[in-house]
Structure 1
Amino acid sequence: MRKVNFLVYVYSFVLFLISPPYFLWGTQIPVLLVIFLFLFSIPQFGIRKNKNAYISLSLLFIFYLYTIIISARLSIIVCLLHLIVYSIFLLSGDFLSRAFRCYSLLFSISLIPSLLVYFCVVWGDVYMDYSIISPLNTIKSYEYIQYPFLVVSQVSDFVYFRFCAYYDEPGVVGSIASLLLIGNRFNLRLWENWPILIAGLFSFSLFFYVILFGYIFLYMNIRSKIYALLCILILLIILKNNEVVDQLVFGRLKWTDDGLSGDNRTSAFFDQWFQKYISTPTSIVGLGGGESLKINYGGASYKDLIVDYGFVGITLFFTGMFLFYLKLRLYKDYMLVVLLLLCTIYQRPFVFDYLYMFLLIAIIYKLKEHYE
């Protein structure tokens, strides 16, 4: 048991490092750590005895293999990373559940000093020593202010208020916080869920708010729903004249001719090109990995998956995932996790990102703990 716990702790810590936090930006260490995770976790591969599991794993293997075959320009290391991500599906449910719990605790602990610095320098206007660092993504035209335990983007005055923690985008915090809180069933009796909740709220991530409302709607009883909605209504009344909240929340919910104003995952040019693309035969099989980056430069959307791997690829992936999620016995658990998957892929189509796929897979086994 001690050996298993040690493996879980090491695995979870490495998951934190591949995020990656700002002190690993611009290095190849996260890539090497993903390979390490694969080799390190091989002894934890488990046997699936469920028919749906065999079908879903087969479809997902075909998907990841398909992404390699259709992408002739991919390097050997990238092809290897695709298959390494698939290996997460092979890990035992017990190991994934333990790792999810451990990573959640580690993530929460890491947020505490980051939140303290954030409230001091961003909201309290307290001076702290800082340095200017280059972005993780080299296509970004702005730099970051690095404080101890915190980075703040300089893209605009209002985005300055969005909590990024150690990461290059506040959406990373919102996405991870959503997945962890759902896996922990928003249990606020556990102290470690409070830093995660606060971080999600102050990331001003629309994704986080959608998942929060989804949880309230599906899981809370009538009385709790009324209390929650009253609290939200009071907050809206108090904050409606706050310029920061107005810009980061209400302003991004306005509907324009181009759609939701807060949906900046694609450009107008890419959207026009995409409408023409999906009416061509090429959209069935896709253009190959990385081709979407040439058109949706600097963006990130589910449309990228369709451009790269076509309707064949996206059908294989979602069918495999939906079948895999049938492990959940409760209908509302299934619906919430499907919502999580769709929202995650909508804004972050990172089906080859080890951390995101770990969270989307391990959450199943964590939720199952509550009725097994």
Structure 2
Amino acid sequence: MTFLLLPDDNQIYTIKIYLRLILYLFVPGIFIYILINIFNVPHLTYVRADKREYENYYFLYYSLSTVHFRFFSIFDEPGVVGSLSAMVVMYYRKFLSKREYIAFICAGFLSFSLFFIVTFPIIYYFSDIRYIPYQKRVKKLFTCALILVVFYFSFILAITQFINNPIIQFGIYNRFKWENGLIVGMVNNRDILPGFDESYTSFVERNEADLWLGKGKNSVADEFGASGLSYRISIYEKGILIVLYMLGLIILMHPWHRQFIFSLVSVIFILMLLFQRTLFFKIDYFSLLFIGSGIITKYAKKENSTYNTEP
């Protein structure tokens, strides 16, 4: 709420400072990332509340011993880097310098985030859609639909050709739901907890007050010994009313009357983002989405706005 009460220029300035701070922290992170993939580098052991152990390198880089090849930066999950980079690619193409923008793209790929890798071609393609004439926006929309159809069948053909490769099978094939040789959905691996699937199904079928109001914060961890990031966990803990409230905020913060096609694409992107990492109310996620999807559009062409000035 404090952030939202700031004048628009100050909100945009805050985002610019935040993105550059993260970018500067990528620099030592990349250096450490290279070192730990070559040498055995001394580190501290950080144990999270859920007992998961991480390697902490000089308080500037995290990693798990089994996935040194994934870029973590200062976060305890490489998927955070992938999600953050995806938001930058989608909304901040004209906000950062070309060098800064490319650095976030590189970080996204080094994180080996499946979400970033799969969505990158699409979100990059649409990243300039609010700055081009209306006719070109419509053309982009239909061109993308055609490309997606071609990509869908090409992707299926490529995956099935390498199905016997254990890395492809584990890292890509098993992440999708298959039916008659076609991809029909994503496997939700964010709430694989013993007993949760059955409890969630019963929770929804009963349709009692808890379904609308939720069972309360940390109820999943209390009942199942661990938690995760999943839309089902959000419904279980917060209830459908809060989820609908969140969806309402997402819709309202877009400039539908001025940028309908951009807003439509942006909402789809946010729903995909939150499906695999439900952190809408986390301050940095919310700020990046709120500014990127709405306010920044009004300032992009103002020569003297904070958008175009160095901090």
TM-score (norm 2): 0.72
Percent sequence identity is: 21
Q: Distance in 1 between matches of 2:40 and 2:257?
A: 47
Structure 2 gap segments, 5+ residues each: 129-139, 180-184, 303-311
Three-state SS of the structure 1 residue aligned to 2:57 is: strand
Aligned to 1:133: 45
Query: What is the Cα deviation at residue 289 of structure 1?
Result: 2.5
For the pair 1:269 / 2:198, whether they are aligned, the reply is: no
Structure 1 gap segments, 5+ residues each: 1-85
Query: What is the Cα deviation at residue 360 of structure 1?
Result: 1.8
Query: What is the Cα deviation at residue 170 of structure 1?
Result: 0.4
Q: Distance in 2 between matches of 1:207 and 1:199?
A: 13
Matched residue count:
270
Aligned to 1:253: 175
Q: Distance in 1 between matches of 2:102 and 2:15?
A: 17
1:195 to 76, 86, 103: 103
Q: How does 1:244-323 map to 2 (within 5 A)?
A: 246=168, 249-251=171-173, 253-255=175-177, 260-261=186-187, 263-267=189-193, 269-279=195-205, 280-282=207-209, 283-295=211-223, 297-323=226-252
Task: Say if 1:277 and 1:143 are closer, same or farther in 2 by CA, change over 3 A.
Answer: same
Aligned to 1:33: none
Q: Distance in 2 between matches of 1:285 and 1:371?
A: 43
Residue range with higher mean Cα deviation, 284-293 or 143-152: 143-152
Query: What is the Cα deviation at residue 150 of structure 1?
Result: 2.3
Q: Is the 8 A contact 1:178 1:200 kept in 2?
A: yes
Deviations 1:69-115 (A, max 9, x none): xxxxxxxxxxxxxxxxx333333222222222222222222212211
Aligned to 2:307: none
1:163 to 61, 71, 74: 71
Deviations 1:113-135 (A, max 9, x none): 2113213432xx1x263213223
Q: How does 1:62-81 map to 2 (within 5 A)?
A: none
Q: Is the 8 A contact 1:188 1:194 kept in 2?
A: no
Task: Say if 1:331 and 1:209 are closer, same or farther in 2 by CA, change over 3 A.
Answer: farther
User: As a proportion of its length, which structure holds more helix?
Assistant: 1
2:53 to 142, 147, 158: 142
Q: How does 1:175-190 map to 2 (within 5 A)?
A: 175-185=83-93, 190=98
Q: Distance in 1 between matches of 2:280 and 2:291?
A: 15
User: Superposition RMSD on alpha carbons, in Å?
Assistant: 3.6
1:101 to 16, 26, 46: 16
Aligned to 2:135: none
Task: Say if 1:206 and 1:317 are closer, same or farther in 2 by CA, change over 3 A.
Answer: same
Q: Is the 8 A contact 1:286 1:309 kept in 2?
A: yes
Q: Distance in 2 between matches of 1:305 and 1:369?
A: 34
Query: What is the Cα deviation at residue 319 of structure 1?
Result: 1.0
Q: Is the 8 A contact 2:91 2:127 kept in 1?
A: no
Q: Is the 8 A contact 1:97 1:366 kept in 2?
A: yes
Q: Distance in 2 between matches of 1:328 and 1:115?
A: 42
Q: How does 1:223-238 map to 2 (within 5 A)?
A: none
2:25 to 110, 114, 130: 110
Q: Distance in 1 between matches of 2:35 and 2:248?
A: 46
Q: Distance in 2 between matches of 1:98 and 1:288?
A: 35
Q: Distance in 2 between matches of 1:219 and 1:247?
A: 31
Query: What is the Cα deviation at residue 336 of structure 1?
Result: 3.3
Query: What is the Cα deviation at residue 148 of structure 1?
Result: 7.2
Q: Distance in 1 between matches of 2:196 and 2:99?
A: 44
Output the amino acid matched with 1:263. N
Aligned to 2:300: 370
Q: Distance in 2 between matches of 1:347 and 1:90?
A: 29
Deviations 1:216-245 (A, max 9, x none): 45458669x99xx8xx99xx89xx79x897
Three-state SS of the structure 2 residue aligned to 1:320 is: helix
TM-score (norm 1): 0.62
Q: Is the 8 A contact 2:61 2:72 kept in 1?
A: yes
Deviations 1:158-214 (A, max 9, x none): x33211011110011111111122221278961111221111111111222344133
Output the amino acid matched with 2:227. G
